[in-house]
Structure 1
Amino acid sequence: MKNTNKTIAWLIALLFYTTASQAQLGGFGKKLLDKGTEMASGGGLNKILKQPQAITTSFKDVNKTGSKPPSFMEGQEAQPLYQLPKAPNGGFKLCAGFYEMTNKSYCLHAGTRGPSSGDGYMLAPVLGPKRDVVILILKHGETHSEVNQHSIQILLWAIIARTKFADFGNDIKLTATRLLSPTELLMLEGGALGVLPASVMDKAKDQLPPAVQSVFEAENNIRRLAASGNSSYEEMEKYAMIAGLAPKPDPEVPSGIWSLHPDGYYIRFFPHSYSVTTVQIYVPKELISSKPDLVYDAPNGIACPANVGAQRLAQTNEPLNTDYTKKLKTPCNL
């Protein structure tokens, strides 16, 4: 086992300590383009188009059974969720009552628009080939204060754009190696694409619906930037975020709609931007009587918009704008 761990660590070190010249889009960039061209040749384009996204969650995965209208809990004062006891494996131990927390959140859908006024978001599961590693990154980010939110978002954009770890620029590799163990880093391999040249992109877009074209093109641009080694957060955000007005909100899924969590409590989301979301949770007393060990662990769910042109938002257990002078009014016997 020790020898296996040493081998894994050596392989990761070898991948990380690539030369500075490789990190630039010079010879290394040509290799990526060659890889993309090779994948698209000989009928490979259809294979690329059929390859699943790294995170596949869509509004079709939302269970609307048991949902409540925005007026549910109207007039009730929420208590600070972040004051609840922490669970050993992450998240908050739930008590009966109404709670609220504004927390860090992350975009998990490049080539779409940020949250718009009136958009309804509901709880959805994290699905897709990179589900487990994305959840690990979000959970480990809570205990690594030295890694800022922008760096984690860049890493997540690189992953959802299906970029290989070996193709990451050194800054992104550094973020990954700080947040993930050598064994966990191996989860980043597989299901990745090269940087597709313009001619291949044009052929691909001809075979895709308009709504999917922007996502496919954004992911390709992000792969290119991720490999360049010198791209900024602002440059990557330019491709991840679409400017302009979003389609009208779905009237059947209004802003503030409540989802019934599979564990039996109610939850809703109010995104302020893709990087900041307010979550509210209502836990009925009778639920705690039958399930005393309930835990809300945010990275296990996604705030998913009914508006297909908006971004899926990964949630975290990291509160923002905290006020620890506020105390829980409901006794919490945990």
Structure 2
Amino acid sequence: MKIIKKILFIILFQFAFVQASQAQFGGLTDKVLEAGASLASKKLGVDKILKQPAAITTSFEDVNQEGSKMPDFSIADKAQPLYLLPKAPDGGFVLCAGLYEMTNKSYCLHAGTFAPSQGDGYMFAPVLGPKEEIVTAILKSAEKHPEINQHDIQVLLWTIIARTKFADYNGTVKLTAIALLTPLQLTQLEGGVLGVLPGNLMDKAMDKLPDNLKAIFEAENKIRQMVSSGNYTYDEMEKYAILAGIAPARTDIPSGIWTLHPDGYYVRYFPSGYSKTRVQVYVPKELILSLNGTKIIYDATNDIACPANVGSQRLAQTNEPLDPDYKIKLKTLCAGIK
């Protein structure tokens, strides 16, 4: 065990040296990465690699459908801009009685799956998994860094979902991670991750995987390869993260279905691709009255719009509105909030 750790340390040191001198040493980077991956794979073995938990584990099984309402759920209120509600100190918005909506930035959290399509039903589920705190931290921090492009944040999230070691980060994605995460959070990117798996190990793993997981496993490994090399474009990464075509429709969970949030309000999602989602939040008057002035917060960074169709993408939500119009005034006064 000690010998393996020493070898790994030497390989990582060599990789750091090669990375700094990449222009001079060219293809050595790939050789070092392949050597490190080969050693890691021998240590873990195929079965242990396949048992490694996903970075984010949220699935439709985590959706609580109790209290949900069909799209024709009658609401008399007219929708007002959600982003005009009072801001909460720790992020999000202080809810008032009524119907609110906004189109916000959203992010794919499931590489190797189909993009949302018209008619897909999405419901609320919490962010779950070994990297849930990191993902939430990125979404919160991004709101304070409008200078960082949404594409760069999406690449970082795909990199994390693909379980890439921070030591393997290269190029813009590394700078994005450093800008959005604390040093302590960066160290957490080293736990529960995989290296770039060589072809022979990938073949063995693919033989043991069910068909519905093969594309995801292959996409994650390809993302790890691209990030490690530092030589890729957004379009190239998107090609592996987003499958071409449309997932088969699931008709029992229609588009526009309302989820009863654990905090007592209703929420529903209308994705447009994976990069933006129109969110509606309905807050019954009875809920506000029952709280006796206590604040109830909508913080989208804790939420995933989860597809009923398991072949489609989970969508991380944000508190960042797209094209907001702050000249509009709320018609509802948020009275009685302490």
TM over 0.5, yes or no? yes
Within 5 A, what are the aligned runs for 1:258-297? 258-291=258-291, 292-297=294-299
Q: Which deviations, in whole Å up to 9, do the C-alpha atoms of 1:26-54 show, x marking residues without a partner?
A: 22222222222223336611100000110
- Alpha-carbon distance between aligned partners in 2 of 1:173 and 1:189, rounded to the nearest angstrom: 13
User: Secondary structure of the equivalent of 2:243?
Assistant: coil
- The answer (yes or no) to whether the contact 2:18–2:28 under 8 Å persists in 1 is no
Q: Give SS of 1:41's match.
A: helix
Aligned residues of 2:124 and 2:259 also touching (Cα < 8 A): yes
Q: Does 1:60 align with 2:72?
A: no
Q: Deviations over 1:227-247 (max 9, x none)?
A: 111211111101000002311
Q: Which residue of 2 aligns with 1:82?
A: 83
**What is the Cα deviation at residue 22 of structure 1?**
8.5
Distance in 2, Cα, partners of 1:50 & 1:154: 25
Contact 1:155 1:176 in 2 (8 A): yes
The answer as to whether partners of 2:115 and 2:246 remain within 8 angstroms in 1 is no
User: 1:288 and 1:267, CA in 2 relative to 1: closer, same or farther beyond 3 A?
Assistant: same
After superposition, the Cα gap between the structure-2 partners of 1:332 and 1:298, relative to the gap in structure 1 and judged at 3 Å, is same
Q: Partner of 1:9 in structure 2? A: none
* Paired residues of 2:19 and 2:29 also in contact (CA < 8 A): no
C-alpha deviation, 1:116, in angstroms:
0.9
Compare 201-210 and 33-42 and name the one that shifted more.
Answer: 33-42
What stretches of structure 1 move > 6 A for 4+ residues in a row?
22-25
Match of 1:6 in 2: none
* 2:257 aligned partner: 257
Are 1:16 and 1:173, in contact at CA under 8 Å, matched by a contact in 2? no
Whether contact under 8 Å (2:265, 2:287) holds in the other structure is yes
Q: How far apart are the structure 2 equivalents of 1:23 and 1:246?
A: 45
SS of residue paired to 1:192: coil
Q: Would you say 1:147 and 2:148 are equivalent positions?
A: yes
- Offset of residue 77 of structure 1: 1.9
Pairing partner for 1:311 from 277, 302, 313: 313
Aligned length: 320
**Contact 2:94/2:297 (<8 A) preserved:** yes
Closer, same or farther in 2 for the Cα pair 1:172/1:261, shift >3 Å? same
Map of 2:187 onto structure 1: 186
Does 2:106 match 1:112? no
Secondary structure of 1:103 counterpart: strand
Amino acid of the structure 1 residue aligned with 2:120: D
Q: Secondary structure at the match of 1:318?
A: strand
Secondary structure, aligned partner of 1:252: coil
Report the Cα distance in structure 1 between the residues aligned to 2:46 and 2:87, rounded to whole angstroms. Answer: 47
Which residue of the partner structure matches residue 130 of structure 1?
131
TM-superposition CA deviations, 1:66-94 (whole Å, max 9, x none): 00000114564200000001000000000
**Offset of residue 187 of structure 1:** 1.7
Identity within the alignment, %: 61
Tell me how far 1:197 sits from its aligned partner: 1.6
CA distance in 1, matches of 2:182, 2:42: 36
Q: 1:258 to 1:20 in 2, by over 3 A?
A: farther
The C-alpha deviation readout for 1:4-32, integer Å capped at 9, x for no partner, is xxxxxxxxxxx799514189972222222
Distance in 2, Cα, partners of 1:217 & 1:77: 46
Q: What CA distance in whole angstroms lies between the structure 2 residues aligned with 1:329 and 1:24?
A: 64
The equivalent residue for 1:326 is: 328
SS of residue paired to 2:113: coil
The CA deviation at 1:301 is: 1.0
Supply the AA of the counterpart residue of 2:160.
Answer: I
What's the TM-score, normalizing by structure 1? 0.92
Return the letter of the residue paired with 1:290. Answer: S
Q: Is the Cα–Cα contact under 8 Å of residues 18 and 29 in structure 2 kept in the other structure? A: no
Match of 1:301 in 2: 303
Normalised to the residue count of structure 2, the TM-score between the two structures is: 0.90
1:290: how far off? 2.3
- 1:206-245 pair list within 5 angstroms: 206-245=207-246
Measure how far apart 1:221 and its partner are: 0.2
Q: Read off the aligned partner of 2:259 and give its amino acid letter.
A: S
Supply the distance in 1 between the matched residues of 2:214 and 2:190 (Cα, whole angstroms). 24
The answer to whether the 8 Å contact 1:24/1:230 transfers is no
**Cα distance, 1:57–1:170 mapped onto 2, change above 3 Å:** same
Shift of 1:332: 1.2
SS in 1 for 2:114: coil
Instruction: Give the C-alpha shift of residue 61 in structure 1.
Output: 0.6
* 1:157 counterpart residue number: 158
Partner of 1:198: 199
Structure 1: which 5+ runs fail to align?
Answer: 1-14
- With 205-214 and 33-42 compared, the bigger mean Cα shift is at 33-42
Cα gap change, 1:78/1:23 in structure 2, threshold over 3 Å: closer, same or farther?
Answer: farther
Cα distance in 2 for residues equivalent to 1:222 and 1:78: 40
Distance 2:34 2:198 in 1: 6
Letter aligned with residue 284 of structure 1: P
Q: Which amino acid aligns with 2:221?
A: N
Q: Distance in 2 between matches of 1:27 and 1:255?
A: 50
How many angstroms apart in 1 are the aligned matches of 2:167 and 2:57?
A: 23
1:322 shift after superposition = 1.1
